[in-house]
Amino acid sequence: MQNRLGRIFNPKTGRTVMLAFDHGYFQGANPGLERIDVKIMPLAPYADTLMLTRGILRS
C-alpha cells in the first residue's frame, strides 16, 4: 500500500490533488456529466490522481 501512495503524492510537497468522478457509481447518473471528455478531462492535467470507474474510463 505504501508504494501505491508514493505514486499519488507529490514527492516535493507531500500533497496531492485528487479528481474524483466516480459519483455515478454510487448516486446514479448525474446531469451535466454525460460527456466526461468535455467536462472533466480538461482538469486532468492539474490532478495527481484520477478516481474513476471502468465504465468512465472506457467512455
Mean pLDDT of the 11-19 span: 88
Residue predicted with more confidence, 24 or 46: 46
CA neighbor of 58 nearest in space, from 37, 39, 42: 37
Q: How many CB atoms lie within 10 A of CB 21?
A: 19
Q: Determine what percent of the chain is predicted with pLDDT higher than 70.
A: 76
Q: pTM of the predicted model, to two decimals?
A: 0.57
How many Å apart are CA 49 and CA 7, to the nearest integer? 9
Q: Kindly state the cell numbers that stand for 11.
A: 514527492
